[in-house]
Amino acid sequence: MVSLGVPTTSRLCNFGDGDVERCLVPTTWIAVKGQHPEMPTGGAPRQARPFVAAFLATLVVCGLAPFNLWPFSNWELFSRLRTQTRWEAVAVAWTGRERAYPIASPRHGYRGFAAVSGGFSKQSAAQPDASCAAWLRGATEVLGTKTRLVRIYRMEWLLSDRRGHRAPPRQRTLIWVCTAKGAREQG
């Protein structure tokens, strides 16, 4: 019988042949090498403390700065006051007929539509052209090959104009037109 004689909070650790008795010292294990090789040893690993410090510091810096280094987000979720405007897309066929194009719907659409279309005027020519080409392609897939162009409108309305479940009348302003040749700003 091997006695380690290691003082613990309450008892000595004694290890018999083929028999393992766990001995818990406040934050560490005692393991006898060769008795059971799979028995866990030690407390928290050496890298734990530096990792926890760096991990939490990164979370705090990204939250305060704020930086958005996904998954270390800045957590700016619905943090800004909403104005009563939205962006909408309308697909126009060769006949001139307009159809609503649900560009932001999950299955076919593009989740960043409002953010991207709102920022078109600040970008170089290539980016709006690329976005427009993709949206036109998407509209053709969803609404058919007769789609000639996609019009992007900014919608504005007053909340107070609402009547029960009926949406208030909205003022529609054409901002961009997407054709096969690229994006064209209106107005």
Partner 1 sequence: MLRRAEGWVFAPEDAKRLAAVRIGLCGLLALRLATADYGLAARQPALFEPHFYMDVFPRMPSLEVATILQLCGIVAAVVAAAGLVIRASLPLAFICSLVLHGMLNSIGRIIVGDALLMLSVLVLLVCGSAAGEAWSVREPLRRALRRVRRGSANPPISDHDFDGARYGWPIRTAMIAIALAYFFAGLQKWRYSGLPWVTSDNLRWILYGQAHPDGLALFVADRPRLSHLFAAGALLLETCFPLVLFLPRLRWLFIPGVVAMHVGIRLAMGLDYSAQWLTVLIVFVNWPAVGAWL
Residues in touch with partner 1 (CB under 8 A): 18-20, 22, 24, 26-29, 36-40, 42-45, 47-49, 51-52, 55-56, 59-60, 63-64, 66, 68-84, 86, 102, 104-107, 110-113, 115-116, 130-131, 133-134, 138, 159, 162, 164-165, 167
Of the pair 52, 180, the CB lying nearest partner 1 is at: 52
Of the pair 94, 141, the CB lying nearest partner 1 is at: 141
CA distance 98 to 100: 7
Of the pair 89, 92, the CB lying nearest partner 1 is at: 89
Of the pair 12, 100, the CB lying nearest partner 1 is at: 100
What is the closest distance, in whole angstroms, from the C-beta atom of residue 4 to partner 1 in the complex? Answer: 17
- Burial (CB count <10 Å: 0-12, 13-18, 19+), residue 113: buried
Q: What is the DSSP secondary-structure string of 113-137?
A: HHHHHHTGGGS-THHHHHHHHHHHH
Is the CB of residue 6 less than 8 Å from the CB of residue 23?
A: yes
Is the CB of residue 142 less than 8 Å from the CB of residue 108?
A: yes
